[in-house]
């Protein structure tokens, strides 16, 4: 996508949550996660690439010891709709016997996060929790539930705060939706 096309998409988009609203949601999530995990010394795993923005904002707000690593699983690649699940990178830190908190930008259909959680549990994780910056309201059941949710999104194509549109705009501090 050209820079001009990316600018046009942003100019035509609807603002769903402002940067201030995103920050407020992350602060709330930090409090909820701290209350639940401050004594657990968890392993926090960021799902690349969308989860990096969320993790970068959330982790400094967690006032307890933790270990951090990442994993990279994708169904999208450069596409705008999901395809076959591909495991790109697994955590380097052993997960067996650990309390693990998985961080991701969005819980959409839940296929990727369900696969991540199942794989971690199969590797002997004692407890696997999921925190997402946002969850899309689809009006149907999903194969996984997030334990911590920052913001609820309409069933629209969204971008910003780690979510992209054709590779662009993950870096936006607010969340937008393509105008319908």
Q: Which domain holds residue 111?
A: 19-154
Domain contains 176: no
Domain contains 72: yes
Residue 99 sits at the vertex; the CA angle it makes with 93 and 83, to the nearest 5 degrees, is 70
- CATH number, domain containing residue 120: 3.40.50.2020
Residues 139-148 pLDDT 10s: 888 999 999 9
CA distance 41 to 161: 27
User: Which among 162, 157, 161 is positioned nearest to 177, based on CA atoms?
Assistant: 157
CA distance 19 to 64: 25
Domain contains 55: yes
The count of domains in the chain is 1
CA distance 49 to 65: 24
pLDDT, position 83 = 62
Domain contains 13: no
Query: pTM of this prediction?
Result: 0.92
Instruction: Provide the token pair at 42.
Output: 């968890």
CA distance 56 to 105: 11
User: Which among 133, 130, 126 is positioned nearest to 147, based on CA atoms?
Assistant: 130
Q: Block means of pLDDT (10 residues each) for the chain, length 180 residues?
A: 93 97 98 97 95 97 98 68 76 95 95 94 97 94 95 96 93 94
């Amino acid at each position: 996508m050209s820079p001009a096309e990316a600018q046009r998409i942003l100019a035509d988009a609807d603002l769903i949550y402002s940067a201030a609203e995103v920050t407020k949601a992350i602060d709330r999530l930090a409090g909820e996660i701290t209350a639940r995990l401050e004594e657990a010394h968890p392993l926090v795993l960021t799902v690349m690439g969308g989860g990096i923005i969320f993790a970068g904002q959330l982790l400094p707000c967690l006032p307890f010891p933790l270990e951090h690593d990442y994993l990279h699983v994708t169904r999208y690649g450069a596409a705008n709709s999901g395809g076959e699940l591909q495991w790109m990178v697994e955590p380097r830190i052993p997960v067996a016997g650990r309390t693990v908190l998985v961080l991701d930008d969005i819980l959409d259909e839940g296929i990727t996060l369900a696969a991540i959680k199942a794989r971690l549990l199969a590797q002997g994780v004692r407890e696997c929790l999921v925190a997402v910056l946002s969850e899309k309201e689809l009006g149907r059941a999903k194969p996984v539930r997030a334990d911590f949710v920052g913001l609820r999104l309409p069933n629209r194509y969204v971008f910003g705060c780690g979510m992209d549109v054709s590779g662009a705009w993950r870096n936006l501090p607010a969340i937008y939706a393509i105008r319908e």
